[in-house]
Amino acid sequence: GALPERHPLRAAGTMDAPLLQALTGRTPDRRPVWFMRQAGRSLPEYRSLRQGTAMLDACLDPAMAAEITLQPVRRHDVDAAIFFSDIVVPMRVAGVDVEIVPGRGPVLEHPVRTAADVAALPELADAALDPIREAVARTVAELGATPLIGFAGAPFTVAAYMVEGGPSRDHLLPRTMMHADPAAWRALAEWAARTSGAFLRAQVEAGASAVQLFDSWAGSLSLTDYRAHVLEHSTAALGAVADLAVPRVHFGTGTGELLAAMRDAGADAVGVDYRLPLEEANRRLGGRTVLQGNIDPALLAAPWPVLTEHVREVLRGGDRAPGHVVNLGHGVPPGTDPQVLTDLVGFVHDQPVERAPR
């Protein structure tokens, strides 16, 4: 295969880790669990390390990015690390003027609204991803058999920030653009797919054992628009690592109507948010796709018996699918008590694995 000689997936320890077993349709001894946004503000050790360093500068400091990636693995005993970075890192290293404003999110100095704006976008040079490669290599050297998940933003979610110039609720501007100027939309989505694809590929080549494409805002699209204007670009982004044979997870929020289309983009597993029971997600996917999810992040702050009853329900739903990676339905809220996450990992690991006959 095309994976480098010393890649973790060439070692039995990582290949047989619970995450890889679940993502490839095998039955692990314990259910794999990790949390979106496990690296970050819920951890005091993160806040103290980040003091005085801007978010995107932290992402481009290989030693800091590696350390932040490892913090939740040490603390919680999760079954995977998620690489500490951001969906806007590839556009930043390509040369786009983007900042992450604390409490707000990614903001562009010059929103990309016209065909001319799109044509003027800088092309990502491969060498600009070197700090990412170095951070990933440092991380996997410390992780042992625990797999590292690489990630990128899906073209729609990335383009939504670029067109809006910042976070928005309804993503009206990108959704208008795909109809009002389909050629400009296509060029922008292709740029985002190339850039996110290169970011994914750099992480896998440097040692990531699985990838996740985040289409966090795809839930604002109709299925018709998703299929007509988005699906082929997400397929291209996931296609950038197709020859490397790493499992690919595709996640979005509010995507109950899009799950099958998201699988069709080339995903081995589909991430489900907290709105849709896993049983129903499994039904919509024809019972043939590995699921990831979908503990409601709001319940992390509920009394322990309420949380664990909800988690039992999530596990029951996941057991119906051909594989289940336990996760939240969206990211860890910043105010979460980290001990709850640690306890939750222990709780999930303690539940006996009895896969229901399908």
The annotation places the binding site for substrate at: 37-41, 86, 161, 216, 330
Q: Is 316 a catalytic residue?
A: no
The reply to whether 26 belongs to the active site is no
Report residue 124 as tokens.
Answer: 């990502």
User: Within 95-114, which residues bind ligand CP3 (CB under 6 A)?
Assistant: 100, 102-106
| CA distances (Å), origin 299, targets 40, 293, 311 | 19, 14, 9
Quote the tokens at residue 310. 């909800």
In 10 A of CB 103, how many CB atoms? 6
* Nearest approach, Cβ of residue 73 and ligand CP3 (Å): 11
Closest contact distance (angstroms) between CB of 41 and ligand CP3 is: 5
Question: Closest approach of Cβ 339 to ligand CP3, in Å?
Answer: 17
Residue 332 DSSP symbol: P
**Closest to ligand CP3 by CB, 151 or 191:** 151
CB of 12 to ligand CP3, least distance (A): 27
Instruction: Judge whether 10 counts as a catalytic residue.
Output: no
Question: 319, 271, 266, 329: which is closest to 296 by C-alpha?
Answer: 329
User: Strand, helix or coil at 266?
Assistant: coil
Based on the shown chain and the rule CB under 6 A, indicate whether residue 41 belongs to the binding site for ligand CP3: yes
Q: How far apart are CA 277 and CA 319, in angstroms?
A: 12
Catalytic residue, from 161, 215, 268, 284: name it: 161
Supply the DSSP symbol for 298.
G
**41 an active-site residue?**
yes
Site for ligand CP3 in 145-164 (CB under 6 A): 151, 157
Query: 219-278: which residues touch ligand CP3 (CB under 6 A)?
Result: none
Tokens matching residue 174: 């990108």
Active site residue 6: no
Residues in a beta bridge with 270: 250, 291
Footprint (CB under 6 A) of ligand CP3, residues 291-330: none
Query: Is 239 in contact with 265 (CB distance < 8 Å)?
Result: no
Site for ligand CP3, rule CB under 6 A: 36-41, 50, 55, 82, 84-87, 100, 102-106, 151, 157, 214, 216, 331
